[in-house]
Structure 1
Amino acid sequence: MMTFILIFITAVVSVSCLKNRTWFERLALVPYRTVHRREWYRAVTYGFVHGDNVHLIVNMFVLLSFGQHIERMFTAYQHAGTIMSSYLTYGLLYFGGLVAAAAPDIVRKRNDPHYASIGASGAVAAVVFTSIFFNPWSKIYFFGIVPIPGIVFGILYIGYEQYLNRRQTRDGINHNAHLWGALFGFVFPILVDPSLWNVFVQNLLHRS
């Protein structure tokens, strides 16, 4: 349910911002304004703004693919008594992913009035990597074609994003946000309940 709600709200806000530049600029992550004007809400609202329809569709498709699975898993853990609320946990994962992805740029770019970042990629990466945490051997389709184990995909993804981030490529993609969102998603289950680390280790060692 929450996945569909997030997709609906993100789609409505993104399309509206594409038509209204004022709203676009008001919601985007601009670290300079975030810090110097105390517009801290931008650390979350930027995730509901996208540069174009392709950017929006790709992020929402990935969120749809992995979000429903995570919702079902959190519901199962709620019934088992591991977590108090599946809705709250999912919300903390998604919005925590947004903040975690934004935080490094807020620090690094706080004195650059021209820097801006948008998109839900950091939060979506967090959802994907939480899925990898619980199902390290489940198949993820690399480039949508080649099926590889989630844990292998995760290692390749982190390495790739770190490489591009260090090169500071000018492709218009915030690789730093992808990297930190993914790392947050992987450690999130441990933050919820440290004993879940044992679940990851067991699933990693006992490939089904």
Structure 2
Amino acid sequence: MNNLNQLIPVLLIVLTCITSYIGFNNSATFQRYQFNVIGVRYHKQYRRLITSAFLHADWWHLFFNMFTLYFFSQVISYVYGVLGFLLLYFGSVLAGNLFSLWLYKNRPSYAAIGASGGVSGILFAAIALMPQQTIYLYFIPVTSWIFATLYFAYSAWSMVHPRPNDNTGHASHLGGAVLGMIFVAVLTPMYFMRNIVFIGIMLLPLLYLAYEILFNKKAR
């Protein structure tokens, strides 16, 4: 079982690398399987909610996602097993894209690709399990809960105050990350409650984002 826990994430990474490479070289495939609002909402192409995770913008985008997925998948597979890992990953992909669809439903041209929603779900579930663990951001050591708080703050601010050249899918990241934390709360509540203070601090920027979206109609 331990070998399977390690093998499945690697196979997922290999498959994603292959499909992303195909997308790099075939614009028709890229356009057919990327997430976009008009394709999902108006043409009912629901496959895009999942298939977009197997496409990336460039090699750096692909490397960063797969590198992060590889290291944090080990924690999730150890705690929840292979099925738990797959459920969390694809559930987070779906949650990220559904949040994007809801948020940008009135912007038919909105499109996105990448496994970031799924990777965020894996990453933030691992952080919810071990918020005081040290992680390395570009080789700089950072405590997990501090990183998560700063990341949520940056993402929330970027969504409320979008920049013209910002091509990052913040909504997808946040949707996946929140599902990752919910996953931990539901399946392993003892871990969640043990770390509730850290998790509460992490989620403060999202309360600000929720206020801006629901009451000030920002980030739409």
- For the 8 Å contact 1:24–1:49, the answer to whether it is kept is yes
Q: Percent identity?
A: 30
- For the 8 Å contact 2:129–2:192, the answer to whether it is kept is no
Equivalent of residue 13 in structure 1, options 6, 9, 19: 19
1:145 counterpart letter in structure 2: F
**Superposed counterparts of 1:71-110, under 5 Å:** 71-74=77-80, 86-110=81-105
Instruction: Decide whether aligned partners of structure 1 residues 127 and 32 sit closer, same or farther in structure 2, where only a CA change above 3 A counts.
Output: same
**Superposed counterparts of 1:165-180, under 5 Å:** 165-169=159-163, 170-180=165-175
Equivalent of residue 125 in structure 1, options 112, 120, 124: 120
- SS of residue matched to 2:135: strand
Structure 2: distance between partners of 1:34 and 1:163 = 27
RMSD: 1.9
Once the 2 structures are TM-superposed, how far is the Cα of residue 116 of structure 1 from its aligned partner? 0.9
Structure 1 alignment gaps of length 5 or more: 75-85
Equivalent of residue 34 in structure 2, options 22, 28, 37: 28
Runs of 4+ in 1 over 3 A off after TM superposition: 110-113, 193-196, 198-204
Once the 2 structures are TM-superposed, how far is the Cα of residue 101 of structure 1 from its aligned partner? 0.8
Once the 2 structures are TM-superposed, how far is the Cα of residue 12 of structure 1 from its aligned partner? 0.6
Once the 2 structures are TM-superposed, how far is the Cα of residue 196 of structure 1 from its aligned partner? 4.2
Q: What is the TM-score with the length of structure 1 in the denominator?
A: 0.85
Q: What is the TM-score with the length of structure 2 in the denominator?
A: 0.81
- For the 8 Å contact 1:46–1:117, the answer to whether it is kept is yes
Once the 2 structures are TM-superposed, how far is the Cα of residue 186 of structure 1 from its aligned partner? 1.4
- SS of residue matched to 1:140: strand
Confirm or deny that 1:3 pairs with 2:12. Answer: no
Once the 2 structures are TM-superposed, how far is the Cα of residue 176 of structure 1 from its aligned partner? 1.6
Structure 1: distance between partners of 2:128 and 2:71 = 16
- For the 8 Å contact 1:138–1:149, the answer to whether it is kept is yes
Q: Which residue is 1:147 aligned to?
A: 141
Instruction: Decide whether aligned partners of structure 1 residues 116 and 202 sit closer, same or farther in structure 2, where only a CA change above 3 A counts.
Output: closer
Q: Which residue is 2:107 aligned to?
A: 112
Once the 2 structures are TM-superposed, how far is the Cα of residue 59 of structure 1 from its aligned partner? 0.6
Structure 2: distance between partners of 1:110 and 1:154 = 27
